[in-house]
Amino acid sequence: MAEQFIAKARQHGSETVWPYYYAGTMGLVQRDGINRLRHAMKYSRWFSTICVTLSDTGWIAGVGAKRGADVREVDEHSGPGGDLGRQPGQHPGQRHDPRHARQEARREAGRGRSLPHRHGRAGRHPSRACVPAPTARWRSRVMHVLFKEGYADWDYLRRYTDAPDELAAHVATRTPEWASTITGLSVDEIVSFARLYGRTRGAASSAAITASAAAATAPPTCTPSTCLPAVTGAWKYKGGGALYGHTGMYPINRRR
């Protein structure tokens, strides 16, 4: 492998080698060490990674930092939730999610409640919503119902968000038909999810973290998912809110 790197660099120049990577289960030293090699050999570089750059941008635009609900509190305290743009268990760093989903499903079955669910692993857990095309249209329609039917927590919105009136006006024209044409969900499924989400104190949702979901979690679609718990004030309750990642909690010095 090293000989191939040397040969190609001699033939085409050092920039022909491109560090195309992300993390999986690797730690910071093992993963980011590739950049020390890149720097020493004058290989090509690029901004961040193939995986979370787009979704990071969308999440931070809505939340402000890459932090979210503690998954242990979500498991113990939250109401029904949804998987927005990913299927739990696909990412090696999130193997705990199917277990939490099963526990949640058992709790909700005992309460006689379930969310509309779709394809994939999450679809086998009746309290999870796994939306096949989790676009901004779907999230906007959910917010349409939350505002229209009185599920919005206006006290929370006024205190902690920056444009609640503009958001309410924006989603007011997002009809069920408008959303269902692209999401693959029926109007009834969208409305049913929105009502259950709105009725549930401390509802929790998780946003995509895998590279395969990058298209579904680009800034214009990831940001609306951060609006859902803000509209209902779900963040106020233990285990409520949303979870995407926690790396914003750790002020690691990456200079070396």
pLDDT (tens digit per residue) in 50-65: 777 777 888 888 888 8
**Predicted local distance difference test score (pLDDT) of residue 190:** 83
**Residue linked to tokens 């990913």:** 86
**Predicted local distance difference test score (pLDDT) of residue 95:** 47
**Predicted local distance difference test score (pLDDT) of residue 130:** 46
β-pair partners for 204: 81, 241
CATH 3.40.228.10 in the chain, residue ranges: 53-243
Please state, in angstroms and rounded to a whole number, the distance separating the CA atoms of residues 11 and 9. 5
Give, for 169, the enclosing helix (H) or strand (E).
helix 164-171
C-alpha pair distances (Å), 54 with each of 197, 207, 210, 211, 220: 26, 12, 11, 10, 9
Q: pTM (2 decimals)?
A: 0.72
**Predicted local distance difference test score (pLDDT) of residue 86:** 45
Please state, in angstroms and rounded to a whole number, the distance separating the CA atoms of residues 75 and 81. 10
**Predicted local distance difference test score (pLDDT) of residue 181:** 74
Burial 144-154 (b: 16+ CB within 10 A, else e): bbbbeeebbbe
**Residue linked to tokens 């990058």:** 214
Strands, E assignment, the chain: 81-84, 204-207, 241-243
**Predicted local distance difference test score (pLDDT) of residue 219:** 67
Q: Are 155 and 202 in contact (CB under 8 A)?
A: no
Please state, in angstroms and rounded to a whole number, the distance separating the CA atoms of residues 180 and 189. 9
**Predicted local distance difference test score (pLDDT) of residue 121:** 42
Residues of the chain with pLDDT under 70: 24, 75, 77-136, 176, 206-220
Structure token pair of residue 226: 């951060």
**Residue linked to tokens 């009136």:** 165
CATH no. for 53-243: 3.40.228.10
**Predicted local distance difference test score (pLDDT) of residue 167:** 94
Edge-first strand listing for the sheet containing 204-207: 81-84, 204-207, 241-243
**Predicted local distance difference test score (pLDDT) of residue 81:** 54
